[in-house]
Amino acid sequence: MALMSFFARSDAIHPNVAIAIPTPTQEAQKENTVFVNGTAYTYDYFTVTDPATLSLIPNFSKKEDAKKLFDENGCTSAINGGFYDTANKPLGEFQVNGTYYSGQIQSDLVNGFVWAVASDSAMISSDLPYASYRYAMQTGPILLFDGNVMPLSIHNDVGARRMIAAKNMENQLVFLAIYNGDSVFDGPKLADVPQIVQTISAKEHLNIADAINLDGGDASVFYSAKTSLSELSPVGSLFCVQ
């Protein structure tokens, strides 16, 4: 399946998508809003202040409900990880605590990594240095790097709920959800996300320098103190703050 289709149709990556009419939750309606190019987007975020509290939980084969994973692992905040294919295999590099799930792939879209060694803060990079990782996950595309918008090669770009991993100038991870407050599985086109992230960063004084796209649409989740966004199809993995 061509990579260019992955961001155009989430059901091309995640089969057996439930048919449902998404409605905004009460929690989601309370979140903040930004206007970019005349369109309003709702968002929420959480910052990982202690990197040792962040773990990456694989969910490719079990396909557990994300809220169940959240509760069983004692998470206080959570967001989904990267993409997986129709064979329930991670789309690119994925390893956690010495367990290797999948190797790197070459892609203009899935072109970055989120990784951490020991209890150090996570890194967002375009390559993966040799190391013993606490977790390492390939995803993409990279949206911002050193504060600059990265060029994107996107075909069939359509709107969807977006989940973003970002790094601020204080070397802390910031996770963001960006969506349509009236229909929470909808959201911006991928090409508009870098500007939206920069707008949120400026408004909230987040000092975001780097940002990378995670899985989105119906296979995305976000849990914070204020917002609960559940999935329609299973998430492949879950970032959990304990």
Neighbouring C-beta atoms of residue 238, cutoff 10 Å:
22
Please indicate, yes or no, if residue 51 is contained in any of the structural domains: yes
11 in a domain, yes or no?
Answer: no
Q: Which residue range(s) make up the domain with 118?
A: 23-241
28 occurs within a structural domain: yes
pLDDT tens, per residue, the chain with 242 residues: 334 334 443 433 444 444 333 444 434 444 599 999 999 999 999 999 999 999 999 999 999 999 999 999 999 999 999 999 989 999 999 999 999 999 999 999 999 999 999 878 899 999 998 888 999 999 999 999 999 999 998 888 999 999 999 999 999 999 999 999 999 999 999 999 999 999 999 999 999 999 999 999 999 999 999 999 999 999 999 999 99
Residue 190 lies in a domain: yes
Residues 37 and 58: their CA atoms lie apart, in Å, by: 36
The pTM is what?
A: 0.88
Q: What is the tally of structural domains in the chain?
A: 1
The answer to the question of residue 202 being in a domain is: yes
CA distance 242 to 225: 13
8 Å CB contact between 66 and 217: no
Q: Give the SS3 label for residue 84.
A: strand
Q: Is 137 exposed, middle or buried (0-12, 13-18, 19+ CB in 10 A)?
A: buried
Amino acid at 98: G
Q: Flag whether 7 is in a domain.
A: no
Closest CA to 236 of 7, 16, 45, 57: 57
Is residue 155 one of the residues assigned to a domain? yes
Amino acid letter, 206: L
Chain mean position to CA 230: 13
Angle at 181 between CA 242 and CA 37, to 5 degrees: 110
Q: Is residue 15 part of a domain?
A: no
By C-alpha distance, which of 134, 45, 60, 149 is closest to 95? 134
